[in-house]
Amino acid sequence: MKLVVIGTGYVGLVTGACLAETGHHVVCVDIDREKIEALKKGVIPIYEPGLEEILVRNVAKQRLQFTTDLASAIPAAEILMIAVGTPPNEDGSADLSHVLGVAESIGKQLNGYKIIVNKSTVPIGTGDLVYEKIKSLTTHDFDVVSNPEFLKEGDAVNDFMKPDRIVVGASNDRAEAMMRHLYAPFQRTGHRLIVMDVRSAEMTKYAANAMLATKISFMNELANLCETVGADITSVRYGIGSDTRIGQQFLFPGVGYGGSCFPKDVSALNRIATAAKKPLRILNAVEEANSRQRLRLVEKVVEHFGEDLTGRTFALWGLAFKPRTDDMREAPSIYTTNELIKRGAKVRGYDPAAMKEAKRVLGEKVALFDDSYGLLDGADALLIMTEWQEFRDPDFERVKQHLKTPVIFDGRNLFEPAEMKAMGFEYFCIGRK
């Protein structure tokens, strides 16, 4: 099939590359000239394991192209996929200006029947808005389909190529048939396509992220309680996770959820519910718990070093919001850095993939080091913010030699408290004795 993917970010680029990999012809469009120029030269603007290989292969086979010119890409396409950002407005609702802007461009250029697939995460009813916008600008026939994306940054290629499920919201058989054809190569190992109406598909995406965020906030609050009542959240996690109704995944306490999706999607769903006069009280609590949890490690630092951190230096391992990505949107490291600086401390940082993003997002606030041990030199403590694999088994003797005092605040529970104590560290983690 001939496809156009509009928006070449984490979702659009992975979608375009993976669909090209299965034989479709894909044109990826973005308004960001720099990004498109880089991609044309084979330079990938994001860190996403496995993506480069697929991209290079499909560009070479001429199944994948990049352009900033949407108007010229539209006429030949059978399916147009919208994968632009839906960032939060100031009130927490989703900003639909990019999605509707694309709909307008499509409406102006439509030259025959096409399917417009919305992959961006959007409020319930956006499919209708997109339809109306295009309809007001064309006499050609078209359908709008919702196909929310569930990939996880850091494992996005794998998620796309071997999806747990593909949700399609379609309003008629013709659109459904085309979507089934598009995704046929991803269905070899089972019936992964779940077809429903457009609004239910839009809601499914928000519901999934809200459920996952709820799991995280619940575990975080439970972990904080464990500290006070003398229980250990790791044991509790195993204990409840072995119940198949609960499951082991997403039960890890830490320093709060971040990233480009959970915070904005929980917030957007909350605003939708409030506007509909059906408030989701549980999500208010999830958001509140997360705002507090993002500063949990600083609370522990203050308990140990006192309120005034003037003259102290803290070394952060991990700046991205999670491992295997360079994405720093809403990363807990940002909140931690700001709070430490507010209290007079100096902050140093290292991340295996997000150094460029860290420079852009944090600027001069953090002294960036490209060596994970170098930044410990003379620091008062090490703070672990992201559970990158390379932090799981460090050379503890080296860590101790570099730090001014052997103190570790571990926001990801990477180590065993008893072993850390035996090695001579003061070790503070989340919800463990």
Please give the Cα distance from 123 to 129 (Å, whole number).
Answer: 10
Q: How far apart are CA 431 and CA 433, in angstroms?
A: 7
Classify residue 415 by burial, with Cβ atoms within 10 Å: 0-12, 13-18, 19+: buried
Site string for ligand NAD, 37-66 (x = CB under 6 A): ------------------------------
Could you tell me if 164 and 57 are in contact, meaning their C-beta atoms sit under 8 angstroms apart? Answer: no
Exposure pattern of 279-300 as b/e (b: 16+ CB <10 Å)? ebeebeebbebbeebbbbbbeb
Output the six-digit token pair for 350.
């290292």
Whether residue 261 lies in the annotated active site: yes
- Smallest gap from Cβ 70 to ligand NAD, in A, equals 6
Interaction of residue 107 with ligand NAD, rule CB under 6 A: no
Spatial separation of the C-alpha atoms in residues 228 and 22, rounded to whole Å: 53
Six-digit token string for 220: 């975080």
Told to check if 134 binds ligand NAD by CB under 6 A, we report no
User: Among residues 2, 32, 218, 417, which is the contact residue for ligand NAD, using CB under 6 A?
Assistant: 32
What DSSP line would sit under 75-103, residue for residue?
TT-SEEEE----PBPTTSSB--HHHHHHH
**Minimum CB distance to ligand NAD smaller for 147 or for 413:** 147
Task: Check residue 12 for interaction with ligand NAD (CB under 6 A).
Answer: yes
7 binds ligand NAD (CB under 6 A): yes
For ligand NAD, give the closer residue by CB, 122 or 295: 122
Q: Does 357 bind ligand NAD (CB under 6 A)?
A: no
Footprint on residues 250-269 left by ligand NAD (CB under 6 A):
260-261
- DSSP one-letter code for 310: T
Q: What is the DSSP string of 325-347?
A: ----TT-HHHHHHHHHHHTT-EE
Q: Considering only the stretches 77-85, 343-351, 380-388, 424-432, report the one whose residues sit in contact with ligand NAD under the rule CB under 6 A.
A: 77-85
* Residue among 4, 11, 170, 315 that touches ligand NAD (CB under 6 A): 11
Does position 332 interact with ligand NAD (CB under 6 A)? The reply is no
Q: Are 385 and 354 in contact (CB under 8 A)?
A: no
Is residue 98 part of the contact set for ligand NAD (CB under 6 A)?
A: yes
Choose the catalytic residue: 18, 28, 226, 261: 261
Listed ranges 80-88, 213-221, 288-296, 351-359: which one lies at the site for ligand NAD (CB under 6 A): 80-88
Q: Which residue is nearest to ligand NAD (CB)?
A: 9
Cα–Cα distance, 61 to 20 (Å, whole number): 9
Binding mask 210-249 for ligand NAD (x = CB under 6 A): ----------------------------------------
The residues binding ligand NAD (CB under 6 A) are 6-12, 29-32, 35, 83-86, 98, 101-102, 120-121, 149, 151, 153, 260-261
The catalytic site residues sit at: 261
